[in-house]
Amino acid sequence: MKLQTYKRKTAYIVCFFLILLGCFAGAVSADDSEKQFKLSTDDIVRGLYNPDNEQLRSTDSEIVKLKEKSVYSRDGLSSLTLNENLQKLALVYNDENVSSYFSKLMKEGIVTGFGVNRLGYYKVWVKSSVDDDEISSLISGFDKITYDTYGKLPIIIQVSDGISLQSEHVEISPFATKLENWRPIIGGIRVQAVTNTGVWNGTIGFAATKNGQSGYVTHGHNLAVGSQMYQPYASPLYPAGTVQAIGSTNSDSSWVPFGNTEASIYSSGSTGNKRAVSAYSSIPDGSKVVVMAGSNTYSYGYVDDVITASHPYYGEIPYQWTATYDSIEGDSGAPVYQQDSVTHEFCLVGLHWGRKVSSDVAVFSPLSGVMSDLGIVPKTR
């Protein structure tokens, strides 16, 4: 009897500690988890809308160009202004039934992305292997879900086999890059990461803080918690911290604690080849040019779409933005920003990470997604 009582007490104690451990693990998970965020329809429209596009739609020049690149296109909502059209399409994008429908097709390997185009079309990317019957079935399914609520919707379907990531695999060598050693570390400069798969070139995005700790943000793909970072190249002379967190739910990003950072972005021709980050915004302003300052490229363009992207590592990531700037390997992690026309200072809006295959658009995560994943706040000055 005493033995049974002892066993029972022991079992209670073990269960108690297991419950405590579970609560502790749950608390850690809750603190460190990446919480899904949702952009409002107004945010989506503000990120896409450019008054100049009203003129583009009236001349049809950009629309014709868009349709020439598509495998299927259909107009609709022609009586609405572009702003009204985008408002309705943003509602469609946030509709859970529509998202579930395309998410299923994404898992089946038919769709590689879906969202809203700045010229007022619902936009879907399909793999090059998809045939006409599958496209016809896709459109019928879309209409079945949307027609009663939203009416006939304008839609564009284009071919893209996915997104190419833009970090660059390199060997450890002092000649891998001749870019400068920057201390304090700023955005838009070369960084190298040493991982179990080798050495990777990328770009530092921007300085930030997390719970009062200083550091910086860069891309997440090809990196892992514990990856050693160096700037400008992998050498014991140039340590630049260790990856502490990876964003993969709402962004392609990572957080690296590092004490010596500054709220600036590399800007050739500016005083000291850098310019201050004076502000940040959760999403881009579609009426303004966006600039991508990569370690290998400096380019600018306009926001093109808001999409749910099929990420090669992380699966489905919603609320990513495409833009018409150029980019190449090694630019992953670069800051995407918009410049104040008066002060010429920079407003951060996102983090570059890839490029649509068979397309002329780049892909970046909005700052809101990066902040949600990593729990960071950008530095400004």
pLDDT digit string, tens, across residues 357-371: 877 899 999 999 999
Question: What is the predicted pLDDT for the residue at 58?
Answer: 77
| Token reading at 45 | 């429209």
- Return the CATH class of domain 168-378: mainly beta
Q: What is the dihedral of CA 225, 230, 231, 232, to 10 degrees?
A: -120
Question: What is the predicted pLDDT for the residue at 6?
Answer: 36
Question: What is the predicted pLDDT for the residue at 2?
Answer: 35
pTM of the model: 0.88
Task: Give me the count of residues in the chain.
Answer: 381
Residue 118 and residue 65 in contact, taking contact as beta carbons nearer than 8 Å: no
Question: What is the predicted pLDDT for the residue at 59?
Answer: 78
pLDDT digit string, tens, across residues 121-138: 999 999 999 999 999 999
Which parts of the chain register pLDDT below 50? 1-34, 175-178
Give the whole-angstrom CA distance, residue 137 versus residue 139: 5
Question: What is the predicted pLDDT for the residue at 11?
Answer: 35
Helices vs. strands in the chain: H and E counts, helices first = 8, 25
Whole-number average pLDDT of the chain: 88
Say which amino acid occupies 148. D
- Taking CB atoms within 8 Å and a gap of at least 24, the contacts of 70-74 are 70/156, 70/157, 70/158, 71/126, 71/135, 71/157, 71/158, 71/159, 72/135, 72/139, 72/155, 72/156, 72/157, 73/121, 73/155, 73/156, 73/157, 74/139, 74/152, 74/154, 74/155
Question: What is the predicted pLDDT for the residue at 281?
Answer: 96
User: What are the sequence ranges of the domains in the chain?
Assistant: 41-161, 168-378
